[in-house]
Structure 1
Amino acid sequence: MMDRILLDALVTGLPMIPVFLGIYTVFRLREDFDLTVEGSFAAGGAVTTVTLIAGLHPALALVAGALAGGVCGVLTAGLHLWLRIPVLLAGLVMSIGLFSVTLHILGTPTRSLLAVPTVFTWFPATPGAGADLRMSIILAVFVTALVTAYAWFLRTEVGLALRATGVNALMARSQGVNDRAITVLSLFLANAMAGFGGGLIVQTQGYADVNMGIGTFVAGIGALLLGELLVRPGRSTVLRIVVCVAAGTLAYRLILVVALRAGLPAGDLRGVTALTLVVAVAAQRHLRDAVGALRARMTPDPKLEGSTR
């Protein structure tokens, strides 16, 4: 029973790691909110679906979905930089507009991938392994490759510039960093990863749906906060950032799988997501207060030190 729950959490959670890593890029590294991911996630899945049906190689279909998501992020950056619309509002506008775009791409609210080759049919079956275990291994290969590339990028000069603008944009600009270009890059990267995750999801579940992106941003924030409770990532520690997002994503999916296995109706999962977000925020606040109080106790009082001299 426990093996079944863990496999379900892996199959549903692994494709979401790139998506939530993209959300982390804007939410933590840039300290902003980008709701475009809800639209780019669905758009990436839709592009992957139609290209698969057209006969494109499944791996190339994933690339096409990622590029479609990245274009959505660039459009959001354009609204922000050239029309001076805040990223939060620009992302909201894009997520609303992308619903219609995704519907036109699919041609119908739901598109099936039944009998269409996917990444899972291109890999030979593993002897003695069940379907879900095999699917988890293949998903882990793709996700690991993408996460490794993401971690390498953050260690490059451009990646360091991206992180520096989130910490102190004024200081980064004084060092010659083009903040406008970094904004475009960060939104492109975040939404490209969302599109990639959408492509993995449609190949995992065997269909694409125009509503598949709804609630992705809130779920991602909840998973990130949950991951930060499990792993305290530092801005300069790329490995801990990746582990934080992966741990939070899988823990969040595990909570949902356990809730379903306990008999909770699927329609109540949004309530579980909202509750997870509330608990994570409250726990982080209490943990921060506790750490602050502990540091205050450990820091000597200058007045007392002066009186003893």
Structure 2
Amino acid sequence: MNLITNLYSALAQGTLWGIMALGVYITFRIMDIADLSCEGSFALGGCITAICIIKGINPFLTLLIAMAGGMVAGLATGILHTRLMIPAILAGILTMIALWSVNIRVMGGPNVSLLGEDTVFTIIMDTFGIDQTLATLIVGIGIGIIVIAMLYWFFGTEIGSALRATGNNEYMVRALGGNTDTTKAIALIISNGMIAVSGALVAQNQGYGDIKMGTGAIVIGLASIVIGEVIFGKRFNFAYILGSIIGGSIVYRMIISLVLHLGLSTDDMKLFTAIIVALSLGIPAIKAKYSQRRIPA
């Protein structure tokens, strides 16, 4: 029964982290940019929502404030990359390092407790008379659907199509007169805004904001993306692909919950996650290479 409870909780948690994975998907898959600033943006969202709630701001409104903060962080990475010509991966690292100090300044310390404060989840719990896990699931699914719908609409617009084209072949976009610097900056802004919202939700759910809460977020996001692609595939339309990312996040959380239930130390989770990502990324390539060798000449 304890395992069922843990898996149920992992299902709910997966929906919250899935929003972060969608943000990583925009830069990693669509734009082909290795953006490491997501770890700082995730913690920034958590720090902003925590201090705003302490100051009496509506918990739902703090999600929008956190998103704005994440978008500013994404803009900073975009400026470093496109204006100062710093490689994307290094620009992300610089932003992530800077956000460590910013997050401490925002909260006035390394962490802020939300014990006894109203959050999005306590409001839902009190309104419908449900427990926290179900409230987490409702909020995660609800916001996930909204995010997927907005992304599906956005990437169908002219600007969204330009972003996708830049990720496929930025030289062709430049040849056609497009500004790839602008599209990259827009992608980074949107991505980090979503990641900050996920961080805000996780902070409200766990009951505190902490500057370390974004550690390993990029690996978790990549694991969710790869697992979603492997299990659910890239079939049907773009909305299905986005939904599969959240599905991958849920599966990842369930795998982690199951492994912990079997006795694996929490200190080994980073190693376990890295192995999952490495295998998920490497196995398809190895299978494709093996299949080519088997084709008769």
User: TM-score normalized by structure 1?
Assistant: 0.89
The 1-side partners of 2:292 and 2:46 are apart by 43
Higher mean C-alpha displacement, 133-142 vs 39-48: 133-142
SS at match of 1:115: coil
Q: For 1:126, which of 118, 125, 128 is the aligned residue?
A: 128
Contact 1:232 / 1:240 at 8 angstroms: preserved in 2?
no
Instruction: Give 1:44's aligned residue.
Output: 45
What is the aligned partner in structure 2 of residue 184 from structure 1?
185
8 Å CA contact retained: 2:148, 2:243 = no
Residue identity opposite 1:213 in structure 2: G
Quick one: distance in 1 between partners of 2:293 and 2:22?
31
Inter-partner Cα distance in structure 1 for 2:186 and 2:292: 35
Matched position secondary structure for 2:120: coil
Offset, 1:20: 0.9
Paired position in structure 1 for 2:6: 5
Mapped partners of 2:178, 2:11: distance in 1: 39
Q: Which amino acid aligns with 2:276?
A: T
Name the counterpart of 2:273: 273
- CA distance in 1 between counterparts of 2:19 and 2:155 reads 14
* 2:245 paired residue number: 245
Aligned-residue Cα RMSD (Å) equals 1.9
Shift in Å, 1:218 = 1.6
Aligned residues: 295
Q: How does 1:112-261 map to 2 (within 5 A)?
A: 112-123=113-124, 124-126=126-128, 129-233=130-234, 237-261=237-261
What pairs with 1:276-287 in structure 2 (closer than 5 Å)? Answer: 276-287=276-287
Shift of 1:228: 1.6
TM-superposed CA distance for 1:210, in Å, is: 0.7
CA offset digits 1:22-76 (Å, max 9, x no partner): 1111111111200000001101111111111111111110011111011001001
Distance in 2 (alpha carbons) for counterparts of 1:155 and 1:293: 39
Task: Render the CA deviation track for 1:57-115: whole Å, top value 9, x for unaligned.
Answer: 11110011111011001001111122110010010111111111111111121210111
Task: Report which stretch shifted further, 250-259 or 169-178.
Answer: 169-178
Q: Which has the larger radius of gyration?
A: 1
Contact 1:18 1:147 in 2 (8 A): no
Give the conservation status (yes or no) of the 8 Å contact 2:174–2:180. Answer: yes
Residues of 2 paired with 1:153 and 1:232: CA distance? Answer: 22
In the alignment, residue 211 of structure 2 is paired with which amino acid? V
Name which of structure 1's ranges 78-87 and 117-126 shifts more when overlaid on structure 2.
Answer: 117-126
What is the alpha-carbon distance in structure 1 between the residues aligned to residue 293 and residue 71 of structure 2?
43
Question: Within the alignment, does 1:65 sit opposite 2:75 as a pair?
Answer: no
**Structure 1 residues 291 and 248: alpha-carbon distance in aligned structure 2, compared to 1, 3 A threshold:** farther
Matches within 5 A, 1:292-303: 292=292, 296=295
For 1:171, the aligned partner's letter is M
1:16 maps to amino acid:
W
Mapped to 2, the partners of 1:26 and 1:255 lie a distance apart of 25
Give the deviation of 1:125 after TM superposition. Answer: 4.3
Tell me, what secondary structure is at the counterpart of 1:56?
Answer: coil
Unaligned runs of 5+ in 1: 302-309
